[in-house]
Amino acid sequence: MTDLSIYEATVLLDAELVSIHLAEIAVSPTLSHTLFLKISQRLKQAESFLVISSRQRIQDRLHHLLQLLAQEIGQPVEEGTRLSVRLTHEELASYCYTTRVTITRLMGKLRRQGKISFDQKNHIILKNL
């Protein structure tokens, strides 16, 4: 379904990889519909990442990234929305096209403002972001 010959997948939660031939998709309306919904969801995610990367200010990139992650992998908790995956400052920096030091500074600022906190396992909890 792509012209690219090499793809690499990284999963953050338990997953199962299944190979499906195009002929199977063509004869199964249920499978076609399910794949269409998943591909549509993935396209929206890609668009969101493009919007994030287009932001000039790094703090805006981080803000929008955290909002997207809250929508995609957030779990409601008493304090706000907990990201179900633990992310390092290095990973956040990579997603925001900046340095770890900058993300550490910005995360500290958000923490002081009461917009984020961390649980006992260092998962980010978004409060009033």
Written as tens digits, the pLDDT of the chain (129 aa) is 667 777 777 787 788 888 888 889 889 999 999 989 988 988 898 888 888 888 889 999 999 999 999 998 999 999 999 999 999 999 999 989 999 999 999 999 999 999 999 999 999 999 976
Strands 74-77 and 80-83: antiparallel
Q: Is residue 93 part of a domain?
A: yes
Q: Is residue 77 part of a domain?
A: yes
Q: What is the pLDDT of residue 126?
A: 96
Q: Is residue 129 part of a domain?
A: yes
Q: Is residue 8 part of a domain?
A: no
Q: Is residue 10 part of a domain?
A: no
Type of residue found at 106: L
- Clarify whether residues 129 and 109 are in a common domain: yes
- List, in sequence order, every beta strand (DSSP E) within 1-129: 74-77, 80-83, 116-118, 124-126
pTM attached to this predicted model: 0.73
Taking alpha carbons only, the member of 100, 71, 69 closest to residue 85 is: 69
Domain around 30 = 20-54
Given a contact cutoff of 8 angstroms between Cβ atoms, the answer to whether 23 and 1 are in contact is no
> How many C-alpha atoms does 26 have within 13 Å on its Cβ side?
4
Q: What is the CATH number of the domain that holds 113?
A: 1.10.10.10
Total of domains in the chain: 2
Q: 């260092």: which residue's tokens?
A: 122
Which structure tokens are listed for 32?
């076609």
Q: Is residue 73 part of a domain?
A: yes
CA-to-CA distance for 46 and 119, rounded, in angstroms? 29
- Clarify whether residues 35 and 67 are in a common domain: no
Q: What is the pLDDT of residue 1?
A: 61
